[in-house]
Amino acid sequence: MTVSSAPPTARNAAYQQLVAQRNAFTLTMTVTFLVLYFLLPVLAGYNKPLMAQKVLGNVTFGYLLAFAEFIMGWVMAYLYVVKARTFDRLAQEARA
């Protein structure tokens, strides 16, 4: 009888799939959030003419980008909730 040093959950295919999908999703969401989040202060500091460009009436590109960050937060939260259902299903399969 061969005894594996890895815990049973690490050998489970559903658990391995859960970890791989969760890590890929987390990395993608983190990089996306950081790029979009830091875009506003970087553009405000280095490209003031673009940020002052009027887009809709007196609304500038800078204000539009700042508002888009709020939208981004809600969209990313929604995407996580949707993806968490898949993670929950895989976690249940891994326990079985």
pTM: 0.74
Residues 85, 83: Cα–Cα separation, whole Å? 5
In our burial notation (b when 16+ CB lie closer than 10 A, e otherwise), range 13-48 reads ebbeebeeebeebeeeeeeeeeeeeeeeeeeeeeee
How high is the pLDDT of residue 11?
A: 62
pLDDT tens string 63-91: 999 999 999 999 999 999 999 999 998 88
